[in-house]
Structures are given as structure tokens and as C-alpha cells.
Amino acid sequence: MEDKYGNLRLKLLASMLSFSLVPLFIVGLSLYHQFDRAYTTKVQENLRALVEDRRHALDLFFEERISQLYTVAHTHSFDALCSPTTLEHVFDLMQRRSKYYVDIGVIDQKGDHVAYAGPYALKGVNYRDAEWFQSVLLHGIYVSDVFLGVRQYPHFIIAVLRREGDRYWILRATINTDLFESMVKAAQAGEYGDAFLVNEKNLLQTSSRFVGRPMEVPPIPAQPRFNGSRVMSLDIGQRTMLVGAVWLRNVPWMLVVMEDPQEEFLPVLQTRSLALILLAAGVAVVVLGAVFVVNLMIGQLQEADRQKALLDADLMQTSKMAALGRLAAGIAHEINNPLAVIQEKAGWIQDLLEEEDVQKSENFKEFEAAVTKIQQHVDRARTVTHRLLGFARRMEPVQHPVNMNKLVEETLTFLENEARHRNIEITKELQDNLPDVLSDGAQIQQVLLNVVNNAIDAVEKDGRVHIKTSYDKDLHHVLVEISDTGPGIPSDVLDKIFDPFFTTKKLGSGTGLGLSICHSIMTKLGGRIEARNGPQGGAVFVLAIPLQHQASVG
């Protein structure tokens, strides 16, 4: 007994702790995730602001460079700038204000580099077939992607077109890549931070700290041009990086700034440690409370068990009364034999009274009335004994060969009128040569009546109930399947329909005991009853009856 209470104590404690700790963990995790999400949002917004600020600085850089070249081109004539002295002077003035230029040159409408100031020997080179030359003629102002060009070194140019009457020419300047990259790198932070530019072809325009050199493909997916800025998480190598991206306004390049989340989320990790400490304290309080409550419940349960023992004594008396009922049934069976003899003799006396000499007796009327009363009381006694015997038979299964096909046919005769009245078609699919089962046909018929009647109630009207019999050779069971075209059984109550007093019928339409009794009968007969919903809708009940079952007696 103590082992029973000990096991129960452990089960209750486990259940209570589960229902107590799970919400605690859920609340703790929810709070942590809310903080984590809020901090993540803050980090992302900071990165977005950094990207926007750096984009603004780069846009200003390009606007200033373009403005300088445009001013020079439109304040000097072609002939003036073709003078080496003038071009060198202009380049010197531009360098004093800004160190971002590597060289400057003038290209005529034929594509010839007619004037040049800078460290490379580019004068006389023809660019007529160069992609950037055609773009300048088309757009007037052009900022190229990074390319190798004649000098075979990654660089990019800014070019401005000037028209003088029928003549046009181009003022072109090369930007110092190192100084320009320093502007971009100013956005990177931390040990694993990085910042670079990519063009619309997803090629690097500035070198990256970790992912490649200019004109190489970075390990990030190509991004179509979009408005505003974006912040996303990408796997770069062995790390997951927080990436901010924004397209420049004047140049078709995208600024990419990467940050290591581990560096940015250090406060979140510290908060996690504090949350774990608080969670451990909460768990300790819950465990102590659960132990106290479970011990209190076990004490109350022990008291309830003592009360149950007293009730068991009353049940013993009830069992004795049941035994007396069986004894009464036996007595009724014994009484049936003399009743039959009395009935027979009373009939014989009645036949004698019909003889003429007996009818002349002055006591004939009394004899006739006495015989009639004898027959009436014999019939009354026989009715009582038959009821007792019927009750006794229902207490224990009576085994005899039962042909399930015939039993189904016989059962349906009780329900055909009801089905016909509701315009419900009852169809049968009975397997030929079905083996007999050794069981209690009356109790199986009771189950069939209940299930088929339930199917008719479920259909209500204008539907169909189908009954199919078959034999399962593997399990040696005869199967009876009853399906209908009703609404089916709700999935949330499917596992409760065999519980006592459970019903899906309207109030007052059922007690909820029918299927429970059917389940009890099938179990007692060694079979089973199962329920499911059909693939086309409606409910399906399956009765499985073993070919032979040894029912317990006594």
C-alpha cells in the first residue's frame, strides 16, 4: 500500500511540476525573446542609420567631384585645356582642394586622348570603342564601374561631356582608389566589421576586408535595386553577419556594411545570465510548493481510501443479492416443470368437462370456473418464471453457433419500417460462406440494433446506411461494418463516444449509455467495437467477433 502511495506521489509531483514549470519557462523565454527582439531592433536601426549616413557622405563626394569637373569643362575651352601648361595648372588647383584625383585628361570626339596630366603615359590613346566613352556621349555625365583599362589596374573615372558648336569633347578624371576606399572603410567597426561597394552586376567596386578584391564576386547574393536601406542576416564563411545595404543615388553602386552580431549582442548575453539566475530561484520556489501540496493531497487520498473500504463492504452485500437473483432464476427453472404438468392436467380436465354426462352434474359450473382459474394462474406463473430466466440469461453470455449474415438480416427487420419512413436506404454487402461464430447471438443482436439505430438517427432522413460483413483470416474474426452518410463524429469527441453517459444527441434524446453498453458487451464476448469517420464523410462502426471465445462463468 505504501508503494502505491509512493508511486502516486511521484506521478503527482511530476505532473504538478510540469504544469508549474512549463508556464514559468514559457514566461521567462518570452521575456528574454522580447528583450532580445527589442535589442536586435535597436542594433538593426543603428546599422541602418550608419549605412544611411555613409551613403549621404558618398553621394556628396560624387556630387562635388562631378561639380568640379563640370565647372572646369564649362569655364575652359577645348583649345585652352589642350595646352599642357593650362591642363597641368588646372590639375594642380584641383589637387590642392582635393587629393582624390589621380589624373585628368581631355578626349576629343574621335576618342583620342589629346591632353593628359598625371603619372601615366596615356596621351594619344584612343577610347572610341571603350564602353565608358559611349556612355559619356549618351548621358553627358558618367561615373564608370571599376575597370582595368589601359593601365591594367582597377580604377574608376568621372567624365563630363562639353559641346562647343559642332564640336564636342570629354573631360575625364581618375579617382584615387585608396583615398576613396578609406571613405567607405570609415563605416566598418569591430574585429569582424566590413564595408564595401558593389555594382549592379554584384562585383566589388572597393576591396573588402574579408570577402575579396575589386572586380571580384562577393559571397553575398545579388540585390535588385531598391529604395531606402535594408538590414538582413547572411552567412559569410563560418559566421552569421548582420548586413546593412543601400544604393547610392548618383552612382549605380550599393554600399554594404557588415557587423558581427556577437560583438553587438554582448549586453543580451549578459542579460541571459541574469535571467538564468532568476529562473533557477523561481524553480526552487515552485518545487518546494509542489512537494507541500502533493503531500497534502496524498494525505487526503489515504482518508478517501479508508472511506472506500467501507463502501466495498456495502458492495459485498450487493454481490450477495446478485447471487440470490441467480438462485431465484434457478428456482424459476425448476418451477417451470410442475407448471407444465399442471397446465397439461388442467387441459385434460377441461376436455373431460365437455363430456355430456359431466355437464349434467350440478357442480359443473364450479368445475369449469376452477379449471379456468387454474389455467390463468399457471400462465401468470409461467410469465414470471420466464422473466426471471430471461434476466438470468442476460447476466452471462450463452454460446451457440451464430450465422452473422442471418443475424444481420433478422436485426434489420426490426428497423426497416423506421428507415423507410425516413426515406433512408439500407444496403447490405454480405460475404458468402461466412463462418459461424460461437457466441451469444442475442447480445450481438442488441449491439447491432443499437449501432444501426444510431446510424439511422445520425442520417435523420434522405440518406443511406450500409452494412458489410467479412472474415479476417489472420485474426480469425468475423467483421461487421456499419457506415452511414450522416455528419460523422467530431474528431475531438471520437475517443469519448464509448464513455458512460457521453452522448452527441440533443438533450433528452439519449442517455449516453448505448455505446458504452455495446462496448461492454463486445469486450465480454471477446470481441471489440471501433469507430472512425469514413473517407467520404459519415461515421463507420466496426464489430469484430471472434470465431470462438470461452466466456467466464460464475
Whichever domain contains 489, its CATH number is 3.30.565.10
CB environment 104-113: b (16+ within 10 A), e (fewer): bbbbbeebbb
428 beta partners: 467
Whether residues 38 and 175 fall in one domain: yes
Whether residues 77 and 163 fall in one domain: yes
pLDDT at 231 over 80: yes
Whether residues 386 and 415 fall in one domain: no
| Per-residue confidence (pLDDT) for residue 380, from 0 to 100 | 66
Whether residues 223 and 325 fall in one domain: no
- Of 248, 194, 252, the C-alpha closest to 218 is 194
d(Cα 139, Cα 70) in Å, to the nearest integer?
13
Whether residues 385 and 404 fall in one domain: no
Of 232, 264, 296, the position where a domain reaches its end is 264
Assign residue 356 the CATH number of its domain: 1.10.287
Whether residues 161 and 43 fall in one domain: yes
Q: Which residue has the higher pLDDT, 550 or 110?
A: 110
Residue 280 lies in a domain: no
Of 282-286, 473-477, 525-529, where does mean pLDDT reach its minimum? 282-286
pLDDT tens digits along 392-413 = 555 455 688 999 999 999 888 8
| Per-residue confidence (pLDDT) for residue 314, from 0 to 100 | 53
| Per-residue confidence (pLDDT) for residue 553, from 0 to 100 | 37
Count CA atoms closer than 13 A to 68's CA, side-chain side. 22
> Where residue 141 falls among pLDDT bands split at 50, 70, 90?
very high
pLDDT at 144 over 70: yes
DSSP structural state of residue 460: -
| Per-residue confidence (pLDDT) for residue 504, from 0 to 100 | 66
| Per-residue confidence (pLDDT) for residue 81, from 0 to 100 | 92
pLDDT at 257 over 50: yes
Whether residues 112 and 13 fall in one domain: yes
- The runs of H, that is alpha helices, within 98-234 are 131-139, 177-185
| Per-residue confidence (pLDDT) for residue 415, from 0 to 100 | 85
Count CA atoms closer than 13 A to 332's CA, side-chain side. 20
104 beta partners: 117, 173
pLDDT at 544 over 70: yes
Of 242, 264, 286, the position where a domain reaches its end is 264
| Per-residue confidence (pLDDT) for residue 361, from 0 to 100 | 72
Percent of the chain surpassing pLDDT 70: 87
pTM of the predicted structure, to 2 decimals: 0.47
Of 347, 368, 393, the position where a domain reaches its end is 393
Residue 451 lies in a domain: yes
Of 100-109, 302-311, 416-425, 472-481, where does mean pLDDT reach its minimum? 302-311
Whether residues 103 and 66 fall in one domain: yes
DSSP structural state of residue 553: -
Region 247-253: mean pLDDT is 92
pLDDT at 223 over 80: yes
Region 491-507: mean pLDDT is 74
Whether residues 51 and 187 fall in one domain: yes
Determine the structural domain holding residue 338 and report its residue range. 306-393
Q: Which residue has the higher pLDDT, 435 or 297?
A: 435
C-alpha cell at 455: 446510424
AA letter at 523: T
| Three-state SS at 492 | coil
| Per-residue confidence (pLDDT) for residue 542, from 0 to 100 | 95
Whether residues 18 and 159 fall in one domain: yes
Whether residues 215 and 138 fall in one domain: yes
| Per-residue confidence (pLDDT) for residue 424, from 0 to 100 | 92
d(Cα 340, Cα 378) in Å, to the nearest integer?
8
Residue 480 lies in a domain: yes
Residue 276 lies in a domain: no
Percent of the chain surpassing pLDDT 90: 35
d(Cα 432, Cα 435) in Å, to the nearest integer?
9
pLDDT at 33 over 70: yes
Q: Are 244 and 256 in contact (CB under 8 A)?
A: yes
85 beta partners: none
| Per-residue confidence (pLDDT) for residue 14, from 0 to 100 | 83
Q: Which residue has the higher pLDDT, 75 or 316?
A: 75
pLDDT at 491 over 90: no
pLDDT tens digits along 164-203 = 888 999 999 999 988 999 999 988 887 788 999 999 999 9
d(Cα 408, Cα 494) in Å, to the nearest integer?
25
What spatial distance separates the first Cα and last Cα of the chain, rounded to whole Å? 29
Assign residue 125 the CATH number of its domain: 3.30.450.20
| Per-residue confidence (pLDDT) for residue 265, from 0 to 100 | 62
Of 53-57, 265-269, 549-553, where does mean pLDDT reach its minimum? 549-553
pLDDT at 550 over 90: no
AA letter at 267: P
Region 146-165: mean pLDDT is 89
Residue 286 lies in a domain: no
| Per-residue confidence (pLDDT) for residue 372, from 0 to 100 | 82
- Of 323, 273, 294, the C-alpha closest to 20 is 294
Region 524-550: mean pLDDT is 90
Of 120-129, 233-242, 343-352, where does mean pLDDT reach its minimum? 343-352
d(Cα 529, Cα 518) in Å, to the nearest integer?
8
Whether residues 105 and 254 fall in one domain: yes
Q: For the chain, what is the domain count? A: 3
Residue 287 lies in a domain: no
pLDDT at 477 over 80: yes
Region 343-365: mean pLDDT is 74
| Per-residue confidence (pLDDT) for residue 391, from 0 to 100 | 47
Q: Which residue has the higher pLDDT, 177 or 318?
A: 177
Residue 281 lies in a domain: no
Residue 283 lies in a domain: no
Mean pLDDT score across all residues of the chain: 83
| Per-residue confidence (pLDDT) for residue 142, from 0 to 100 | 94
